[in-house]
Amino acid sequence: MILLYLLLITAASCQAQDNRETQQPARHVGGPCEGCEALHEYGDKKLSPTDTLPDFHPDAKNKLKLTGTVYLPDGKTPAPDVILYVYHTDETGIYPKKGDEKGWARRHGYLRGWIKTGVDGRYTFYTTRPGTYPSRDEPAHIHVTVKEPNKNEYYLDDFLFEDDPLLTLEVRKERPERGGSGIVTLQRQGDTFVGHRDITLGLHIPDYTP
């Protein structure tokens, strides 16, 4: 009985050690990232490669579709199971709120959404085109945060729009191109503007290792 007890204790100890070795903490990349934890605020929503933000409806003005592929650091292999979180202003340049927001929605507003890529790495957001801040001190933009497996969440370059008059040469030069260029050219398809952006994980991201 004593021998059997010792064998059970030893087996349990080995199993616990195996669990600790397989449950490694996420590697930290990307540097400081204020508000990036908002990426986890999707609650019980089941994430898919496509999301539609609240103000996108048949009668909406300046409807916008943003789509592309997320790639692994080699820039060729599609990246599955990657979460993207986006948020932006309304057409007046403010982050709209309904008054019952919690968490980071109190700052980001309700125009926000989440997707999770499938095996093909594709993503699509349906939303409305944002306006620039009332101060007009920077181009209109859509913020984007990414979370890939086994890494912490980190931010990428904002989505910017090629036809924005505030997108000056100086602004272009200041873009770090985290994940690749975030500047998209919009094309009109029916009553919707469509922009394409591919994302390469790790590109110009500090402390990144594949």
Indicate if the pLDDT at residue 131 is higher than 70.
yes
Residue 13 forms part of a structural domain: no
The C-alpha atoms of residue 40 and residue 114 are separated, in whole angstroms, by 9
Indicate if the pLDDT at residue 107 is higher than 70.
yes
pLDDT reported for residue 21: 36
Residue 142 forms part of a structural domain: yes
The C-alpha atoms of residue 201 and residue 24 are separated, in whole angstroms, by 20
Going by DSSP bridges, is the β-strand pair 199-200/154-155 parallel, antiparallel, or unpaired?
Answer: unpaired
The C-alpha atoms of residue 123 and residue 50 are separated, in whole angstroms, by 6
Residue 137 forms part of a structural domain: yes
Number of domains, the chain: 1
Which CATH number is 73's domain given? 2.60.130.10
The residues with which 112 forms a beta bridge, in sequence order, are 87
149-199 pLDDT tens trace: 999 999 999 999 999 999 999 999 999 999 999 999 999 999 999 999 999
Average pLDDT over every residue of 87-95: 98
Indicate if the pLDDT at residue 129 is higher than 80.
yes
The C-alpha atoms of residue 127 and residue 50 are separated, in whole angstroms, by 11
Residue 207 forms part of a structural domain: no
Q: Which of 6-15, 71-80, 103-112 is least confident?
A: 6-15
Task: Provide the residue range defining the domain that includes 115.
Answer: 38-200
Residue 91 forms part of a structural domain: yes
Integer CA distances (angstroms), 173 to 45, 74, 83, 150, 182, in order: 38, 24, 28, 32, 13
11-34 pLDDT tens trace: 444 444 443 334 556 789 999 999
Average pLDDT over every residue of 41-69: 97
What are phi and psi for residue 106, nearest 5 degrees?
-65, -20
Count other Cβ atoms within 10 Å, centred on residue 111. Answer: 23
Average pLDDT over every residue of 99-103: 96
Comparing 5 with 139, which gets the higher pLDDT?
139
pLDDT reported for residue 26: 77
pLDDT reported for residue 96: 98
The C-alpha atoms of residue 112 and residue 86 are separated, in whole angstroms, by 5
